[in-house]
């Protein structure tokens, strides 16, 4: 299925799309994404997704313009587990970088959990360089249905982007 990327389109994720995003995370995560879409309506963030020709989302990524001055910060980037390593993440990151430069910003940033070397390798291959570390945490649904706090450490990476022509 290496030909999947040319058939995908990237557009804004809409609230109606969330019903097809169960692969991306728990109900808690999708509730957070829904909240982020209200911020997108106020132009505080962009929230993009890659879609199949049938309209199914297969990857998603937020871009926060208020987290780091002068930068767009990518977060909540995930590709459908069955479609990883096919260029979809690269497609989505490039689209996110275009959105960032369209806002007149010249830097993209992101954080990746330190126990996710595969994602970090992708980001470094796309030109992101390590600029620090930071703790992070969020609520997640445990297998028994309870809510627990996930605590982790992330590597922060950044990339200088070209000016728009």
pLDDT digits (tens, 9 = 90+) for 46-100: 999 999 999 999 999 999 999 999 999 999 999 999 999 999 999 999 999 999 9
77 in a structural domain = yes
Range of the domain at 70: 2-160
Number of domains in the chain: 1
The candidate with the shortest Cα–Cα distance to 42, out of 59, 11, 65, 21, is: 65
pLDDT, one tens digit per residue, over 108-149 is 999 999 999 999 999 999 999 999 999 999 898 888 989 999
Q: How many CB atoms lie within 10 A of CB 141?
A: 14
39 in a structural domain = yes
67 in a structural domain = yes
71 in a structural domain = yes
CA 128 to chain centre: 14
123 in a structural domain = yes
pLDDT, one tens digit per residue, over 6-21 is 799 999 999 999 999 9
Q: Which two tokens stand for residue 35?
A: 């909240």
The pTM score is 0.92
165 in a structural domain = no
Phi-psi region of 85 (alpha: psi -120 to 50; beta: other; left: phi over 0): left
Domain of 53, CATH number, reads 3.40.630.30
42 in a structural domain = yes
Q: In angstroms, what CA-CA distances link 109 with 14, 73, 133?
A: 23, 5, 12
């Amino acid at each position: 299925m290496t030909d999947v990327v040319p058939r995908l389109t990237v557009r804004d994720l809409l609230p109606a799309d969330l019903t097809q995003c169960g692969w991306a995370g728990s109900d808690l995560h999708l509730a957070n994404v829904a909240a982020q879409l209200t911020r997108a309506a106020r132009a505080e963030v962009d929230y993009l997704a890659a879609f199949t020709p049938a309209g199914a989302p297969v990857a998603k990524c937020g871009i926060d313009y208020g987290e780091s001055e002068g930068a767009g910060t990518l977060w909540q980037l995930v590709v459908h587990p069955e479609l990883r390593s096919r260029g979809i993440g690269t497609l989505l990151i490039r689209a996110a970088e275009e959105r960032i430069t369209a806002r007149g910003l010249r830097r993209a940033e992101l954080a990746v959990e330190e126990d996710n070397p595969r994602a970090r390798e992708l980001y470094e291959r796309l030109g992101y360089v390590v600029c620090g570390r930071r703790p992070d945490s969020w609520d997640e649904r445990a297998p028994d249905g309870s809510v627990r706090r996930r605590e982790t450490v992330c590597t922060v990476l950044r990339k200088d982007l070209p000016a728009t022509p």
